[in-house]
Amino acid sequence: MYDVSGKIDIVLATYNGEKYLSEQLNSILAMHSFDEIINKIIVCDDNSTDHTLDIIARTIPPNKLILVKSDQGKPYGPAKNFERGIRLANSEFIMLSDQDDIWMPNKIIAYIKEAEKCNKNLPLLIFSDLEVVDSDLRLVDKSFLHYQSIKESWVNNINNLLIQNLSPGCTMMFNQKLIQKSFPLPDKCLMHDWWLIVVCKIYGEIRFISNETFIKYRQHANNQVGAKSNSFLNAFFNFKKSFYSASRNYERTIQQMLDIKLRYLNDLSDESLAYIDALSLYVDAKSSKIKRVYAALKVNLKKSSSLKTVGTYLIIFKGIGK
């Protein structure tokens, strides 16, 4: 193993996270070789009004902590809040942390070992599966990918990644070269982790650590972003709410695709450019229902499950804001 001293900065975004934050921080501090490998924990707080800041101050050693408080009256939101912290990271690698999970003791060692196998001259992103648990850490599913009906091979095709992310940011580790290619994030970036994995697919190397999980991914009522069961019954009983939410997210997904095209036009394949152009008909007020659906079929739009795919075609057929 090469010299790992101070190789990783952890960027943690917080917002009113007092209920679970202590458990998350203590699990990070308890990781094997924490003192040696972790340079800083960079906490970006999005204007918390509970005891979040007190918990941070009394839990993280001062020599390891960089605390960035909110400097505006309104929330940044997850993507821009994480961006603030990532910009302050100066270690070779960056990990992202939510405020309510549990990290396994061997996480940083496993990721560093994986990084040693990679080309250090390229943008790099490493991720793994997660164990989905409820608010009391009871097992919901031993695999996030299974819970979301996503195969790990989803990452092999950039068009898959353009339409659907497969990795929460808390399971990612990436290098400074990826930040240089990815930042600044566009103002309407849907999610920072999604943007990072797409950019890494264009320019760098993506590695998946298989057959092991390193995070208990807690699902509870206050999650801003989380895992939702991909079951038919869940979709049926929550159809109206789910369809509205999915429609809004699809519109933002298309906007993110257009931002990717604008930023990386010269480095995208003709196939991916055609894919983006076809799906962007959704935000064209003059496009017809049939034209939108036909264009999506022509570029073989699909998501990770039949249920999600059918739902997406219904959204496309219905149209934006209708």
Is 161 contained in some domain? Answer: yes
**244 and 169 in a common domain:** no
Instruction: Say what the pLDDT of residue 229 is.
Output: 52
Is 223 contained in some domain? Answer: no
**237 and 211 in a common domain:** no
**186 and 41 in a common domain:** yes
Is 3 contained in some domain? Answer: no
Instruction: Say what the pLDDT of residue 1 is.
Output: 47
Is 298 contained in some domain? Answer: yes
Instruction: Say what the pLDDT of residue 285 is.
Output: 86
Is 140 contained in some domain? Answer: yes
**147 and 39 in a common domain:** yes
Instruction: Say what the pLDDT of residue 225 is.
Output: 46
pLDDT tens, residue order, the chain (322 aa): 457 788 999 999 999 999 999 999 999 999 999 999 999 999 999 999 999 999 999 999 999 999 999 877 778 889 999 999 999 999 999 999 999 999 999 999 999 999 999 999 999 999 999 999 999 999 999 999 999 999 999 999 999 999 999 999 999 999 999 999 999 999 889 999 999 999 999 999 999 999 999 999 999 776 544 555 555 445 554 556 678 889 999 999 999 999 999 999 999 999 999 999 999 999 998 999 999 999 999 999 999 999 999 999 999 999 987 5
**174 and 93 in a common domain:** yes
Is 275 contained in some domain? Answer: yes
Is 28 contained in some domain? Answer: yes
Instruction: Say what the pLDDT of residue 297 is.
Output: 98
**80 and 198 in a common domain:** yes
Residue by residue, what is the 3-state secondary structure of the chain? CCCCCCCEEEEEEECCCCCCHHHHHHHHHCCCCHHHHEEEEEEEECCCCCCHHHHHHHHCCHHHEEEECCCCCCCCCHHHHHHHHHHHCCCCEEEEECCCCEECCCHHHHHHHHHCCCCCCCCEEEEEEEEEECCCCCEEECCHHHHCCCCHHHHHCHHHHHHCCCCCHHHCEEEHHHHHHHCCCCCCCCCHHHHHHHHHHHHCEEEEEEEEEEEEEECCCCCCCCCCCCCHHHHHHCHHHHHHHHHHHHHHHHHHHHHHHHHHHHHCCHHHHHHHHHHHHHHCCCCCHHHHHHHHHHCCCCCCCHHHHHHHHHHHHHCCCC
How many domains, the chain? 2
**56 and 150 in a common domain:** yes
Instruction: Provide the residue range defining the domain that includes 43.
Output: 8-218
Instruction: Say what the pLDDT of residue 238 is.
Output: 58
**90 and 53 in a common domain:** yes
CATH code for the domain of 94: 3.90.550.10
- Where is the domain boundary, 191, 218, 245? 218
